[in-house]
Structure 1
Amino acid sequence: MTSIPTLTNDEADLPEALHEARLWRDNGWTARVIKNEDDDGWAVEMIKQGEAEPALVGPWTMGRDKKNPKPLDTAAFNTLVKTASEVLRRHEQQRDALLHKSLYVMAEAGRITVTLDIVPDEDEPHAFLAATDADGEALARVRVPAGFKLSPTSAAAWIANEFRKPG
């Protein structure tokens, strides 16, 4: 009697690898060649497993018959995965830059780093304004509205006001 391998919950959730001319699924990504609605050509969309929206949509090459799309292959799929991953990484970096701001202010006590970390909570978005000295020691941390504008002027005013919560 042969034993049948059982799948763990994590393995059961992963789709099997699929390699078809217009649909590839592998390594947590799906590439799908679709009709380009804007013209007579074709497009390819890259969707990361677990995501609802494609990370990348771009034009796809026509086949030799000039009617149908060129079939997906390993090299094309790997290139698409790399490109889509880079797009996601850039979006993440941009999002992080929007949520975290930092600047330096020269004060009587020396150089002070002031940071603003936005918490994009759906119910109650807010931010934390914090200050550290040149040695990295925490000087203050207060909760402020998510729309607080951090600038050299607002940071200097906060420091001059002895780190009291800005009005």
Structure 2
Amino acid sequence: MPTTDAEDGTEKIQEPRLWRDNGWTARVIKNEDDDGWAVAMTLQGHAEPALVGPWTMGRDKKNPKPLDVPAFNTLVKTAAEFVRRHEQQLHATLHQQIAITHNTERLNISLDIEPDEENPSALLRALDASGELLAEIRVAPSFKLTRASASAWAEAGFSADAVRRA
């Protein structure tokens, strides 16, 4: 009798080529590139797999090795770590920060990008060492925050014109 995962309410499946538990689905699939097998790890609610990797052949060297508890748990750990690293990388891309010195004062310049499909935007901010907001302007999401562009903005008195030229 199938059981239900208490965490997400989905039906637990434990078949040789398909496992579902703890919000993840592991599906052993034929590798399109060769005669081997692959395993696709998909997070519940996502259409595409978070991770696809090679899968071990069985003893007959024709069919895949069946999934089991230790293998599934290892796959979940690996896929979850992959998703976490991807999210961290995306966050770092969308929220950048540089510290510069301007007139002997330490400033933190940040760029926060809103990746809206229809109307993407970005906000450039300057804060002093105590966290007080000195300036804030909208910039193109393609704006490149570098030490040089941040310094040029500060040198120009946080002028929007200085950012457009950068």
- C-alpha distance in structure 1 between counterparts of 2:60 and 2:151, whole Å: 67
How many aligned positions are there?
Answer: 156
Q: Give the unaligned 5+ runs of structure 1.
A: 1-10
Shift of 1:96: 1.2
Query: Are residues 1:146 and 2:163 paired?
Result: no
Residue type of the alignment partner of 2:44: Q
What is the identity percentage for the equivalent residue pairs of Structure 1 and Structure 2?
Answer: 62
Shift of 1:156: 1.4
Query: Are residues 1:97 and 2:73 paired?
Result: no
- Mapping of residues 48-63 of structure 1, within 5 Å: 48-63=43-58
**Deviation by residue 1:128-165 (Cα, 9 ceiling, x = unmatched):** 00011111111111111101111122111211222222
The answer for the alignment partner of 2:39 in structure 1 is 44
Match of 1:157 among 115, 138, 152: 152
Question: For structure 1, which segment, 71-80 or 85-94, has the greater mean C-alpha deviation from structure 2 after superposition?
Answer: 85-94
Partner-residue secondary structure (3-state), 2:93: helix
The answer for the alignment partner of 2:10 in structure 1 is 15
- Mapping of residues 62-77 of structure 1, within 5 Å: 62-77=57-72
- C-alpha distance in structure 1 between counterparts of 2:126 and 2:38, whole Å: 49
- C-alpha distance in structure 2 between counterparts of 1:26 and 1:50, whole Å: 13
- C-alpha distance in structure 1 between counterparts of 2:21 and 2:150, whole Å: 49
Query: RMSD value over aligned CA atoms?
Result: 1.4
- C-alpha distance in structure 1 between counterparts of 2:142 and 2:32, whole Å: 39
The answer for the alignment partner of 1:113 in structure 2 is 108
- C-alpha distance in structure 1 between counterparts of 2:13 and 2:144, whole Å: 49
Match of 2:127 among 125, 128, 132: 132
Partner-residue secondary structure (3-state), 1:68: coil
- Normalising by structure 1, what TM-score? 0.89
Shift of 1:122: 0.8
Shift of 1:14: 3.4
